C-alpha cells in the first residue's frame, strides 16, 4: 500500500510567497498542498475544513496575526503540526512562537529545500528550530557546573532524571511541551546520547561524581 502524502495548508499574506511555496511543494511526490490562506481567520477555516497534517504559516498576517492564529490552532486542532515561516528573527518573535507550541520555525531567507525537509521532519514528530533560536532559549542566569549544558537544559535534565514526562516538565518549568522536546534534542546531541534514559544515566553519574 502506497504511503499517503503529507497534507499541507499554507498561510501568508503575500501572494508571491504563497505561490512560490505551492509551486515548490508541488514538485514533491510525498507532499500535497490542500489549500492556501492569506490571513489567520482563513487559515483556521481551512484547517477546520481539510484537517491537514501540517500547517505552514507566517506570523505577520491581517485580521488575525500568526501568533494568535497559532494559539487557536494549538487549542482547536492539536493533531495538526505547525511550521512557522517568518522574516523575523528577533527574540520576541522566536519566544512567542516557542511559547505557542509551534513544531518548527524557519526563516524566509532559508534555502527552499529546507522548507521541504522541515515539513517532513515535523510530520515525523521532530521539533525543528534554527540555531539562532538557541541564543534566546539558553539564557544564562546562574552558573552551570558543566559548560556543555545551559541552566535551562540542566533544569530539564534534572526533571527528566526524576522520571517526569515532557508534559510534567513543561508544567514545572512553565514552558511549552515542544520547548521541552527542543531542549532534550540539544541535550542528547551535546551529551552524545540517544534518549532520555541514557541522558538520565549520564546525569546520575555526574551527581555521584560530585557534579
pLDDT of the residue at 211: 54
**Pick from 25-34, 80-89, 91-100, 168-177: least confident:** 91-100
User: Cα dist. 64→13, 21, 34, 56 in Å?
Assistant: 11, 21, 21, 15
pLDDT of the residue at 141: 40
Q: Taking residues 26-39, what's their average pLDDT?
A: 95
Beta pairing partners, 8: 33, 54
pLDDT of the residue at 66: 64
Dihedral over Cα of 130, 19, 119, 174: its sign: positive
Q: 1 versus 11: which is more confidently predicted?
A: 11
**Burial class of residue 148 (count of CB atoms within 10 Å of its CB; 0-12, 13-18, 19+):** exposed
Residue 35's region, left for phi above 0, alpha for psi from -120 to 50, else beta, is beta
| Max mean pLDDT range (1-15, 35-49, 135-149, 191-205) | 35-49
Q: What is the pLDDT of residues 87-144, one digit of tens each?
A: 877 777 777 787 787 888 888 888 888 899 999 989 988 778 776 565 555 444 433 3
**Rounded distance between C-alpha atoms, residue 116 and residue 6, angstroms:** 11
Q: 146 versus 34: which is more confidently predicted?
A: 34
**Rounded distance between C-alpha atoms, residue 126 and residue 123, angstroms:** 7
Q: 208 versus 82: which is more confidently predicted?
A: 82
Average confidence score pLDDT of the chain: 83
pLDDT of the residue at 133: 62
**Rounded distance between C-alpha atoms, residue 29 and residue 155, angstroms:** 42
Q: What are phi and psi of 90, to 5 degrees?
A: -80, 160
pLDDT at position 184 over 80? yes
Amino acid at each position: 500500500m502506497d504511503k499517503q502524502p503529507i497534507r499541507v495548508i499554507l498561510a501568508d499574506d503575500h501572494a508571491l510567497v504563497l505561490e512560490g511555496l505551492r509551486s515548490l511543494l508541488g514538485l514533491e511526490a510525498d507532499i500535497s498542498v490542500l489549500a492556501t490562506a492569506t490571513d489567520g481567520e482563513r487559515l483556521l477555516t481551512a484547517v477546520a475544513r481539510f484537517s491537514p497534517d501540517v500547517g505552514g504559516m507566517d506570523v505577520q498576517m491581517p485580521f488575525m496575526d500568526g501568533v494568535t492564529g497559532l494559539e487557536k490552532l494549538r487549542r482547536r486542532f492539536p493533531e495538526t503540526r505547525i511550521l512557522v515561516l517568518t522574516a523575523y528573527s528577533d527574540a520576541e518573535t522566536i519566544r512567542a512562537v516557542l511559547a505557542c507550541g509551534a513544531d518548527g520555525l524557519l526563516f524566509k531567507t532559508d534555502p527552499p529545500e529546507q522548507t521541504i525537509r522541515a515539513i517532513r521532519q515535523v510530520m515525523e514528530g521532530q521539533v525543528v528550530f534554527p540555531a539562532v533560536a538557541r541564543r534566546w532559549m539558553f539564557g544564562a542566569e546562574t552558573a552551570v557546573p558543566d559548560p556543555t549544558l545551559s541552566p535551562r537544559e540542566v533544569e530539564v535534565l534534572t526533571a527528566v532524571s526524576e522520571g517526569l514526562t515532557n508534559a510534567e516538565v513543561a508544567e514545572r518549568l512553565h514552558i511549552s511541551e515542544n520547548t521541552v522536546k527542543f531542549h532534550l534534542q540539544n541535550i542528547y546531541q551535546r551529551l552524545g546520547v540517544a534518549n532520555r534514559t541514557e541522558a538520565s544515566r549520564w546525569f546520575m553519574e555526574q551527581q555521584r561524581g560530585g557534579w
